[in-house]
Every structure is written in structure tokens, then in C-alpha cells.
Chains A and B, each alone.
Chain A
Amino acid sequence: MKHKLVAALVAFGLAGTTAACGSGGGGDAEAAAQAKGEITVWMSNNAEEVAWGKQMVAAWNSAHPDQKVTAQEIPAGKSSEEVIGAAITAGNAPCLIFNTAPASVSQFQKQGGLVALDSFADGKAYVEERSGKTAEQYKSTDGKYYQLPWKANPVMIFYNKSVFAKAGIDPAKPLLATYDEFLAASRKIVASKAAKYAIYPAPSNEFYQSWFDFYPLFAAETGGKQLVADGKAQFASEEGKKVAGFWRTLYAEKLASQEKYTGDSFVDGTAAMAIVGPWAIATYKGKVEWGAVPVPTSAGKPAGDTFTFSDAKNVAMYSACKNRGTAWDVLKFATSKEQDGKLLQGTGQMPLRNDVAGAYPEYFTKNPDYQQFADQAARTVEVPNVPNSITIWQTFRDAYSKSVIFGTQDPGAALDGAVQKVDQLAAGS
């Protein structure tokens, strides 16, 4: 591990030296915006997405033989964000990456690694027409789009129907809409030994884990607020503390586990429920008889009013790209109605388009299980696109972990303490 860190530092160091010798200019960027030619794109490692990507690239290449696109999976690394950050620094990022995490966009932008899509004549209009009001969340603090909102996996409460039946809960109509109902069902599940835990979100300290426990419920409880709004932390509000209190109860009563799990606790039957998006349905096939409901709120909001976390992955254009004209055309091609339809068909993930359900009625008629995710996709909350995004999430996660998961501090006090730090970070310091 030491050598890997040293090697990484060497790569960064050498790249830093190279950066010092570089020269930038508006002229280069303007020329690149018009340039046509060959480009490279990266896909995620998800098998269904790779399959979609291959057919998309083949379709483009057959129609544009003089502007060939080469696709590959993101190179292996501890996380895709680190690989992308290193590629930006080394100056060898591809033109497009179809796996750009919204939480990392502000950092990549700060590095000078991203191209604002507003630099294309139809850039802003295209983004906003395709995604509608939802696009607003993906705008950077400078008012520009450095990412195209691509696809969402709105997270919901998946429950194991056979475990619920075993616990004496109606699998067709599980009462999970309010915190009280959710806790009652959880206690029943554990007490009856139908499952060891009611729910098992990862208790580890990585910054992104809060997207799969606190944040979806916070989005729901607040009617669609982000963690940070207008430069101010929102999570220590009365609603935020209600959500934290709910999760504290789950951990305190051992209805959720503090311990790390190897494998998938939902698939293994260790946990009766999971918070996850539709991408996972493919992995559950033949293993779990599942149902899905919206995340709970304290007062039990109707499904049609419930927000959740989007778990979106987007497409960004990287500044190392020389043929940006082609890259922009490919981006529009890849997110056309036809290609978005193929993405939906191939992966079960929701294209971030206006009215997904209305755009692909045949798909949802044939796959009724996915209808609720299409409905939910219209009410999603993204991570805030602010400076120091990941540090903000780590600061929140540290406070949440201490107070909610391990219970060594009062959740309200912990969240209040984190607010001050987060406000400073969101201001860019």
C-alpha cells in the first residue's frame, strides 16, 4: 500500500510539474469547441451499462465513420472519482465520461478538468429541455452546467416479501409510510426472527454512505430540500433532527446493525429491507421476492408527494478533449430519446428526462415493476453542487456516525456542531 501511495504521489507530482509548464488560452478552447474528429469515452464497470455503451458507440460510428468514437471502461482504482481526478491532472482524461458522480463535479471543475456545456450554442437549452426543472440541481455555483444530468436511480425501500410474510406482515400492503409504522414493522421482523435485522445500510464512514440512509429520508421529510441550500446547511433543521432521531432508534434497538457486512445483506436475507434504486433489480432476479415502497416520513406523506435521493450518474466533458465539437454531438446522440430508451430497456435505470413514463409507455406496460421508479424519478433530490462537496459530506458523515450510528453524542447537538463547519466549506474556504 505504501508503494501505491508513493506511486500515486509520483504521478501527481510529475503531472503537477507538467501543469506548471502548460499554457492555457481562450483561443484553444474556442477552436476545440468546433473541432471534429476522433474521441475516446469512458463507461462505468456496470455490465448492463457497458452493453448499452457498446451499442451506442457502434451506432454512432456507423453513421459517422470520419469521427470515430472509442469506448472503454473506467480504469480500475479505489474509486472512479480518484481515477478521473488523476486523469485530469495527468492531462489524459477522455472527452466524455458516462459515470461522473455529481458530488465530484465541483472538485473536477476546480481542477480545471471540465468543459462548461454552456460554451456550446445550444448547450444550456439542450440540457434544460431534456431534463426540465430537475436540471436546476445540476447547475454549478457559477450558473453553468459542467455535467449533463444523465440517469437516476431513485432510491426506495425494497422489502423482502417472504420475510415480511414470515413476520406476520402483509407482503402486499406493508405499512411502512410513517416512522411509527416502519419501526413497528421492524420490531416485528426482528422479534419474530424472520430476519436478524430490519434494515442494514452500510455503517461505515465513507462520505457517500449517508446517501443511502439519512439523505433519502431527509429529502422526503423536507419536501425536496438539499443538504445545503443557498450556501447554508439544512440538515440541522427540525426535519433533519426527526430523521436523525428515527435512525438513532433503529440502531439503539439493534433493528439496524453497526457492524460492517460482507456481501449483500438484503439478498442474503440477513436484512428484511434495503434502500436502493432500480439498478439493483437485475441483481435480485431469482434471489429475492421483493416489493418497493417510498421512503417513510414522520407524518406519512402520500407517495405522490414523496421525494428521495436520485443516485444519479451524469456525463461530463473533460478539458483534455481536443475534438469537443464531436464530443458534444456524441453527447446529444447518446442522450437522444432513442438512446435513452435503449438505456432504460437495457439497465432499468431512469433517464433524467422530462416525464420518463410518458416518453416510454410500452416499456412500463411491459415492465410494471419499474413504473413506480419512473414516478419517483420526477421527485428526486441531488447532492448539492457546491465547493468542497466531498468534504461537506464527510463532515456530515462524521457527525452522523458519531451520534446516530454509534450513539456517543446527541444527534441534535452533533448536527448543530457540523453546521458551522459545513457553512464555511460551502462558502469555499
Chain B
Amino acid sequence: MSARGRSGRGGVLSSVLGKQPIGTAFVTPYVVFLAVIFAYPLGFAVYMSFHDYFFTAPGAIVERPWVGFANYAAVLSDPAVRRSFVNVGIFLLINVPLTVVLSLVLAYALNAAIRWRTFFRVSYYVPYVAASVAVVGVWLFLFNSDGLVNRLLGPLAPDPSWLVNSALAMPTVAFYVTWKQLGFFILLYLAALQNVSKDLYEAASMDGAGRLKSFWNVTVPGVRPATTLVVLLATVTGANLFTEPYLLTGGGGPDGASASPVLIMYQKGIEQGNPDIGSAIGVLLVIGVLLLALAERRFVGREDR
């Protein structure tokens, strides 16, 4: 009886707290953080997107009626919004592959025992941690119509110039973001490269593989988990593009050629006081990014069998 009683009480506690109650205690703050910082705002955004909603002072009496999909209809019928989704698609098409390829190649190079290795690693990382406002000034200097790039190109310089050219504005932003974020992604690959066993390179070498072949057959598969992470992170951060079009191309110019969905959200939701419209754009963006991430997961993240 006594033994059974003790066992029973322990059983009850175990079933509530699991086998690792301390672990549960440690993870609770982060769960709360996620709920408050991510889940609640997302839920609230979904709520706003189905209502005629605007922010008011406490105590102001206003109606916020349910409007079904009216906000979504308004958003999808707005050519500026549709253009912004196309723009961010163009951006991702350029930025994500370029990020993966360049960061892997550079990480591989920086992983070798080369002279000035630390200097080069720091050099690639600095743009990532530098304030965008300051770095943008440098790029404006480079890509202006009488900037350094056009001087070097001479007659090959585009007219209109890069940042005011409808066809070139978004690609230019994409190249800028790729360059700026390279340092972070190189870090991820450098970490992954530490886990690729040297034995594999030696085995490949014994089988007659050269540097290129061993890179393709040993290095690339070896860092596949990191590649999955890089692709997903680049996609998510790219889809949330805002600072660069806002600063580089004068608020998404020329004529909305580099406006991103988040930039339009900012304009409509915050500047113009229509958070319901902004939320509808945001929800569509979340859905789009999730679908894209699923596709990428399937394509890039598949396990070798």
C-alpha cells in the first residue's frame, strides 16, 4: 500500500511535467516569447485583414465590421501590390541562388589555409554588421549615373542609370543585398565545413578526384543541411525586403519597379492609416513564403537514399 501510494504520486507528477520537468521549465520562456512576439501579432493581423480596421485612441468608439475578403480583393486588384510581389519574386530569383553559390565558394576558399585568412573573413562580415543607411550611401556613390561603376563601364553604362532604370533597379537591389548579407551566410558554411571529415577528401583523392570533383562530390553533399538553412533564411529575409528599396531607389522607384510587398505594407498600413489592407498583404506574403519554403525544403532538403 505504501509503495503503491508513492509510485502513484510520482506518476501523477511525471504525467504532468514529463520526464524532464527542468527542461520544460527552461523552454517555457521561449514558448511565451514566441506566443507573444510572433503568434499573437500574426493572429491579430489575420483578424484585422477580415475587418474594416484602423487604430484608434483608447476610449474612441468606432465600429470595426467584418468585411470578409474585401481587403484581400482590394489588395489583389491593386496593380502596385501585384507589381510588388512580382518584384520580390525577381529579387529572390537572383538573390537566393547567388547567395548560396557565392557564400559556399567563398567559405570553401576562406576555410583553406591561405594568407590573410582572418582579414578576408572579417572583410566579408563587416558589410553584414554595418548599418544599412551608411552602406547604402556607398552604393549610391558607386551606381549613380556619374558614379564609379559607370565611369569604368564608359559607353556600356546603362541609360537610365542602374537605380532609376525599370529593368535594372530590382536586380541592382538584389546584388546589393547579396553582397551585404554574404558575410552571415559564409559564417554558416564555415561552421558546416568544419564537420566535413578530412577522411572523405583523402578517400576521394585516392580514387583520383581532383579539387573540382572532390568539391562537387564531397563538399557540396557534406554541407547540404547548411544549404537548406541558407536557402530558407535567404528566402525569408528576402521576402521581407524593405530597407534597401526604401533607401536605394527612393521608396521603390522608378514607378514601383523595386517596391517590395513589405514596403507597400508600410505605406498603406502605417503611413496611410489602413492597417487592415496592410495586414491582408502581410497574410498573403506569409502564405507565399510558407509555400515557397515547403517547395525549397522538398527540392533542396531531400535526404539521399
Contact = CB atoms under 8 A, between A and B. Distances in A.
Interface of A: 1-2, 5-10, 12-13, 15-16, 18-19, 21-24, 28, 79, 81-82, 85, 88-89, 91, 93, 107, 110-113, 196, 202-207, 258-260, 262, 319-320, 388, 390-391, 394, 398, 401-402, 405-406, 408
Interface of B: 36-38, 40-41, 44-45, 54-62, 80, 137, 140-141, 144-146, 160-161, 163-164, 166, 237, 240, 242-243, 248-256, 262, 265-268, 270-275
Contact of A259 (B41, B164, B166, B252): B164
B275 A12 contact: yes
Contact of B253 (A2, A93, A203): A203
A133 to B, nearest CB: 30
Given A85-B273, A91-B58, 6 more contacts: A21-B58, A28-B59, A88-B57, A259-B161, A260-B163, A398-B80
A107 to B, nearest CB: 5
Contact of B242 (A5, A111, A113, A394): A5
B173 to A, nearest CB: 13
A233 B60 CA distance: 31
A10 B164 contact: no
Given A111-B54, A259-B144, A262-B137, A401 B59 contact: no
A2 B270 contact: no
A402 B255 contact: yes
B57 A320 contact: yes
Contacts of B254: 258, 401, 405-406
19 contacts: A1-B242, A5-B240, A9-B44, A10-B36, A10-B40, A13-B41, A15-B55, A89-B55, A110-B56, A111-B60, A111-B273, A112-B57, A204-B250, A205-B250, A259-B161, A402-B255, A406-B160, A408-B166, A408-B255
A394 to B, nearest CB: 7
A16 to B, nearest CB: 6
Given A6-B37, A398-B256, A401-B254, A24 B137 contact: no
Contact of B44 (A5, A16, A93, A405): A16
Given A22-B58, A111-B57, A262 B140 contact: yes
B287 to A, nearest CB: 17
B123 to A, nearest CB: 24
Contacts of B145: 259
